[in-house]
Each structure stands twice: as structure tokens, then as C-alpha cells.
Chain A
Amino acid sequence: MTKLFVFFAKCLRDVFRLRFVAIVTSILILTLLLGLFRQTEALSSADHYQLISRLRTLERTNIVVVADALKIRLTLLPNYDTVVADSQAFHAQLGDIEQRLSPLLPTAHGLEQALTELKVQAADRDILLEDLKSENAVLQNSVSYLPEAVDTFIGQLPDSEAGYQLKASLNRLVGVLLRYALDADEETALEIERLTVQVETLAKDLTEAEAAAIAQPTVENIARHARFVLYLKPQVAEAISRITHAPVGSAIEQLALSYEAYHQQIAQIQRRYQRALYAATLLLVVCSGYFVWNYRNSAYLEKINVELNRLVDKRTQDLNCTLKTLKLSQSQLVQAEKMSALGQLSAGVAHEINNPINFIYGNVTASEQYSQDCLELLELYSEHYPEPTEEIQNFLEDIEFDFLKEDWLNLFTSMKTGASRVKRIVESLRNFSRLDESEYKTVDLHEGIESTLLLLNHRLKATDTSPAITVLKNYQSLPDVSCHPGAINQVFMNILSNAIDAFDTEHAEPVITISTDVVSADDGLTQVSVTIADNGSGMTDAVQAKIFDPFFTSKPIGKGTGLGLSVSYQTVVEGHGGRIEVTSTLGEGSAFCIQLPVSASSMINRPPQCEAAA
């Protein structure tokens, strides 16, 4: 799960980097989702059903109250306590419903209206109920009293005609009244009125004595009660009628309907919110899916990109390597061609020069011998004829015979020296360019250095513009080294040549120091080191870094090919498994140190190695 989360976090991070709008949109969507979710929770289902059940209970209680009113009329109730209790229960339930509905009222106007209507109707019904209770009590009292009163009254009537008539009227009155008490109607009311008036009139007909004999109740009493019944009965009937027809029940129903409608509305809105919530969630999922897919694609693309870059780098590296190799090969080829040409040339020259030199040397030796013989002859003559003639003496003075005698042998010596020197140079030349010798030979390196120095002798001599270059040799005892002598000599030649070139004409004391030594190498093999140092102009670090590169030269065009040191490097490092290092300080001089293993190692003939790309 955390992986997924990290993954998503990375997605979002990338999205954020790339699309600000997208992140704002997703925040908005999330806020919307949260809002929608809370909206769907707004209306609690439990509260709704509780409210519905309370409304049902209220309806029922309402019916009970109305039933109580009827029971009052039918004298089914012993007292008004149950009516009061039921009415109070109705009001308590109504108050509870009002409390439950009050938070909804601000948004549901139909509901508020229905509730207000119900409360008004309930209040009106209350008043009716109280009126009913009050009036009914009196009506019942009068109705129950009247028959008794009439009986008592009749009992006291005299047995006269007036008395009899009064009795009859009263009985009729009571009968009609009782009927009326049960079921009031217009006709009966009129009848009662008529009878009452009749009774009153008849009572006046009684004699004073008869009237005095009658104790309570009096006719006034009876008439009054009769009129009370007449008046109250319709009142009570109306009260009952209005209570039973009171629109309290329909007001409750209206309230329930309003509430249902409101709830439907809310539920609908809620459903809409729910749908919106689903849609938004779906949208978010699709968006997320799209972003994930996008991210995966871009990650893949990036991966491919990285891979391609890597391949390109590798290819470039390979190509660089190949280029380097080719350059080296080219330099080597050029060098090889040059060396071959040089070798052929020197071989030719050596051979051509060798012959004349040989017979010059031979003839000079013979001439020396002949001249010594002639001189001996002249000595014999001067011994045998000690008095030379004047002519001879003059001639001897002219030719400076004493000097001639000395110089003549010197001449021969010098000729011999010259010839032998030429021979030596030819020898060195051949020695130097031993191209025919491509296999390894165990040679003394000092010999090679000497040969090289001899070849460079003319350059070491002083000229008009520059002083002579001093060569200091610091040779230790070196074992013979198994190497490719020609190539090694070429190396010495290149370095020494460069050293000589490093001295400019103003240099006061140009010195080249050649030191040789034996060192033990890291891998156990004995190595020899040859260090050629000069106190010339030195090199900058930039030049030092590139000095072994093929075709790199600090000399003007035409003067240097830039191949010398590169070939030397190849020879020493790859040809012999040695090392060549340069140290230089600008203005003070340079030193080249060549280390060669004494014995041939497995490093011979190794193909050129490309350094690993940085």
C-alpha cells in the first residue's frame, strides 16, 4: 500500500511540476467531493422515520380528543380528566413535532405554513373544547334537574282545572325537552318555546292560595331551566359539530404531506448530490488513471531516453576510442613509413658511404706507412750526406721541413681519425635505424644513448647564436634490457631532440642531464629508468597534458610533426610495458622519465587500449 502511495505521490509531484492547473483542479474536485459527501449525510434517515411516526401518533391522539368530545356529549365520561389529559398529550406531541421540524423550517416554506395552520386549528379547537365542557355541564344539570323539578312541582299542584292543564303542559314540556336534549331541531325548539310560554301563562291562572301552597321549585325556575336547555343545547350541538368537523385532522395530514414533499425534495437533492458525488469520484478516478497512464508513458519515455543517451554515449565513446586508435594507427603508420624510408635511406647512405670510407681508410693507412718509409729514407740521406747543398738547404727552409715532418704524420692521424669517425657515424646510423631487427634483443641502453647523442652531436655544439649544450651523464650500472633497440633509440632521439629544441638562443647554460638507474617495480619485475632532463623553457600544464597526443606539437608548422612523443609513448607503454612520464615547470625545464622492464613481459604487442570514458 505504501508503494502505491509513494507512486501516487510521485505522480502528483510530476504533475505539479508540469501542470499547475491540474493540481488546482484536483484540489477543487476533492473539496467538492467532501462537500457532496457531507451533503448526503445532512438528512438522517432515523430522524425522518421518527418524525413520520410522531405525526402518525399525533393523528391518533387527535382522533382520541375528538372521540373524547363525543363521549362528553354522550355522557360516557365520568369526569373531564381524560379529556384534559388527552388534550395535553396532543399539545405535548404537537410541541415535540414543532421542535423537530424547527431546524428544517427556514428552507421549507410550505412546511412552515402547514405547521402554523395546524397550530391555529388546534388552538381554535381548544377553545371549542373548553366551551363544550362549560356548556355541557350546565346543560346536563338542567336536563337532569327538569324532570325532577317538574315532578315535584306537579305533586304540589291542586286538583283544579288550571292545575290539570298546567300538569299536562308541563309533562308535555318535559317530554319535548328531553327529546330536544337528545336531538335538537328547529321545530322542537319552537315547540318548547311555545310550551314554556303556555306553562307560564297557565301558572298565572292559579289562584294566589294555590300558588302560595307550592314550595320550590317555582314556575320561574322551571321556565328558566327550560330556556337554558333551549339555549344551551344548540350551543353544545354546535360545539360538538365544530369540534368533530374541525380541520385539525386534515391540518395534520397537510403537515404530513408537506413534510413528505419536503423530504422528497431533500431526498431528491440528496440523490442528485449522490450522483454528483459518484460522477466526481468517477471523474477523479478517470483523471487519476489518465495521469497514472501519462506518468507511466513519460516514465517509459524517460527510461528509453536515458537508455538512448547511454547508447549514444557508449557509441560516442566507442567512436572516440576508435578515432584515437585510428589517429594512433595513423601516426604509427606515418612513423613506420618514415622510419622505413629513413631506414632505407640510411641503409643506402651507409652502404654507399661505407665503401669509399673503407678504401679511404685503407689508403690512408697505406699512405701513412709509405710516408713513414719516405721520411725514414730522408733521414738516411741526411745521415749519409750531412752537408746538404745550398739548393737543398734553401728548399728545406722553404718547405719548413721540420714542421712538415711533424705535421705530415699528424695529417695522417687526423685523416685516420676523420675516416674512422665517418665510419663510426655510419655505424651509428645503421645502429640507430635497425629496422630489420624487429625482434627483441637484449642490449645495453647506454650504447643506445651514446649512439643517439653521437647523431645529435652537431646540434649539441655551440653555434654563433647559441652556446654549447652540456650533457651530464649520471649512469648507474644497468643490466641489459630486452627490448626493441631501434624503437627505444628512436624514443631517446625524440626526447633528446625535444630537449635541445627547448633551449632558446638566449639560454646561458643549457644543460641536459641523463640519469639511469635500476628501480624495482610494483609487480616485482626489475625495471630500469632513464631520465632525460633539461633546464630549458619548460611546458605549461595544458601542453603537458597533451604532449603525448598524436599530431600535437608546440613547434611552428613545418618544424614538427607532433608524432615523436606519441610514438615514443606507444613504444614504451604498449610496446614494452613500461612507463613514460613527464614533469615540467614553466621557465625551469622538463624531465622525461622512461621506465622499462628488464625482461620482456606479456605486455608486448598489446593492441592500443582506450581509456574508459570519464
Chain B
Amino acid sequence: MSHSTPHFSHYLRQWPEQLLADRSLEYPYSSAALPSVQASAVKPHQEPITPVPIAKTLDERKVALGRQLFHDPRLSRNNQVSCASCHEHSLGGADGRAHSIGIEGRLVAFNAPTVWNSSLNFRQFWDGRSISLAEQVDGPLLDPLEMDTTWPEVIAKLRQDSDYANAFRQLYAEGVQPDAVRDAIATYEQNLVTPNARFDQYLKGDTAILSAEEKAGYERFKSYGCVACHQGVNVGGNMFQRLGVIEDFFLTRESIEPSDLGRMNITGRARDRYVFKVPGLRNVALTAPSLHDGSVETLEDTVSIMTRYQLGRDIPSEDIDLIVKFLNTLTGDPPEAA
């Protein structure tokens, strides 16, 4: 700590009331917020995984506008690809493919992550280059392989639609502008959380809801150390880690794609080679295949690969099954009907 900075408690004494009242800048789980900690009968503040909170109250009109935009293929150059093309509701918010298909059938480098609970991730994209959902909108929109359009194009098309023009005018002071479109889509995505998974109910105190095997699976998950990276409210999604910690995962590959280099593409550091954002495991039963390149089809294979390359262990297949059973309990209520 800086030698000239006073002790932490000094600030506690010095604070005027209004500073305490200023919650506008706080992330809901921040310890900077005094003093509350979520209380639970199962002592969830000691569990590494916490239940998905109910979506906070959002402006319904913005959510509706965002929903419309999310499903609107006009956001692509040829008016055929929308956000929902790769993040489909019926496919758990993903597209069930190893590599997504973009505009005109072009193959995208990555396996589309689910849009469900994406608001609980600390970064977006596999390489974590976007810090917010709003920022993420630019990625697929401007990518030649995905939607291959430009903002002026999109804005022009949206302005021609009187419904959009009216809605934007009502909700945003600037009208139909890129920032407003980003905000609307991000607001909609914040609405797409999946609470009430069986495991969440277990965490909240319903101990009977899980079977003994599922509970055992959770214990294995913790004891083997999976939980070191797949923790937090989204069972992952809040840190970076190398794919191939103990062993080189890509050693047997014939060729290394640029997408395999992970965060090194962003930071340029050698130590970030093969480093990706740890994906969240909620609804993982619905979002096969796994990994950034969708190279693993089943959960069992994924667990097996993870234990070998990330944990450096060889675990019995019974334990793999138990863990898979546990993973299936992470499926929550699908967000909204559409």
C-alpha cells in the first residue's frame, strides 16, 4: 500500500452520508457496497458458486426494443443474419454448432457462446476483448464473416422504419444512433438470465432437490479443483485461464489457428498464448459442443479433457459421470417465451 495513504478505517470514520448513499456506480456483488452480504441457510457466501439473481428491473420498453433488434436480420448487410441466428432461444442461446455460420454461409472461427446469463460474465468473447455487452454488439456487426455491415448502413435502415424511429425517439435523446442501438440490445441481453436452476435452489436451501449423486458430483467438482476456475455466479466467466495448464492441449493438433492463440491476439504477451476466458457452465447441458472451437461433443469428453489438461489428474469414469450429473443441474428456467 502507498505509504502516505491513511488506514482504511480512516475513511470509514471520515465518510459523509451522501457518499454512502451513492450506489449508482456499484456492481451488485461488490464488497465496496456496505454492509450487506447475501444471507442463506446453506451459507452460500462460503460456497464458491452462488445462485443466479432475478433480473433487476429494466425498462420494459428498452427490453422490447432490444428484443426487436436482436431478432432483426436488417442488422446484417444482406438482411439475412440477425443476432438470433447464432444465439437461438431454442438452442439454449447458442447455435449447437462447433463453428457458427455467418453471412452467406461463411464459417466463423469460434463456437458461439450462449447469450443466456452473458450479463454475468466479466468480459465478452472467448478472448475477453469486450468489457461490456454494449461493446460486444460491434463484434458480430462489423465482422466480415458474421454480419458484415457498417454502422451507417444499419442506422440508415433502422431510420427508414417508422416504428424504430418512434421507439428510439421516445427512449433515447439522441434518437437512432449506434450508442442507442447498443444500449437497447444490451438491455435486452441483461434480461436473458436463467434463475431457479435446481442447483440454485439447492444453494438457497432446498437440500432435497438434488439427488445424492448430484450432490456427490458437486463435491467431486469442488475437490478435484474444477471449481478453482469455474466459480462465481455463472460457474465461470469471471477470469482467464490457459487451455492446457498442465499439459499442452494443442500439442497433437496439426495446425494452430489464430483463434487458438486466444488472448495473445489481444495482449501480445507470450504468457497469454492459448489463454481464454473461462466459460460459464450454466445451461452447459444445452449448449454443446464445448470449447472455443467446439471440438468436444459430449460433456463427459469435456470433463475428461479438462481434468487431464487443466488439473493434471486422471479421474475414474464414475466420478466423470457424477460430475456430469452435477453439471446437468445447472440448467435454469429459460428466459422469456420468445
Contacts and interface: CB of A to CB of B under 8 A. Distances in A.
B314 A79 contact: no
A82 B313 contact: no
B4 interface: yes
B241 A89 contact: no
A78 interface: yes
Interface in A44-61: 53, 56-57, 59-61
B160 interface: no
Given A145-B313, A221-B313, A82 B239 contact: no
B22 interface: yes
A451 B205 CA distance: 159
Interface stretch (B40-48, B104-112, B176-184): B40-48
Specify the main secondary structure of chain B where it touches its partner.
Answer: loop
Q: Tell me the dominant secondary structure on chain A's binding face.
A: helix
Interface string B305-322: 000000111100000000
A89 B231 contact: no
Interface in A244-279: 244, 247, 249-250, 253
A71 to B, nearest CB: 9
A217 B313 contact: yes
Contacts of B11: 56, 59-60, 63
Contacts of A89: 25-27, 30, 32
Interface string A115-150: 000000000000100110110011011101100000
Interface string B255-266: 000000000000
- Interface-central residue, A68, A92, A130, A249, by most chain B CB under 10 Å: A130
A230 to B, nearest CB: 14
A84 interface: yes
A82 B31 contact: yes
A60 B25 CA distance: 14
Contacts of A84: 27, 122, 232, 238-239
B233 interface: yes
B240 interface: yes
Contacts of A127: 267
A277 to B, nearest CB: 32
Interface string A68-97: 100000000011111011101100110010
Contacts of B19: 53, 56-57
Contacts of B246: 224-225, 228
B229 interface: yes
Nearest to B228: A137
B: interface residue count bin = 35 or more
A81 B232 contact: yes
Contact of A92 (B25, B48, B275, B314): B25
A144 B311 CA distance: 11
A63 B5 contact: yes
Contacts of A217: 313-314
B16 interface: yes
Q: Kindly name the residue among A59, A138, A142, A221 whose own CB sees the greatest number of chain B CB atoms within 10 A.
A: A138
Given A53-B19, A127-B267, A224-B312, A79 B2 contact: no
B4 A216 contact: no
Nearest to A82: B31
11 contacts: A56-B14, A60-B32, A79-B231, A79-B238, A80-B239, A81-B233, A82-B30, A134-B242, A140-B225, A217-B314, A250-B2
The 6 closest A-B pairs by CB, nearest first: A249-B2, A141-B225, A85-B30, A79-B231, A85-B27, A137-B228
Given A63-B11, A81-B238, A140-B225, 8 more contacts: A56-B11, A63-B5, A64-B31, A80-B232, A130-B240, A145-B311, A217-B314, A225-B312
Interface of B: 1-2, 4-5, 8, 11, 14, 16, 18-19, 22, 25-32, 45-50, 122, 225, 228-229, 231-233, 238-242, 245-246, 267, 271, 275, 311-314
Interface of A: 53, 56-57, 59-61, 63-64, 66-68, 78-82, 84-86, 88-89, 92-93, 96, 127, 130-131, 133-134, 137-138, 140-142, 144-145, 216-217, 221, 224-225, 228, 244, 247, 249-250, 253
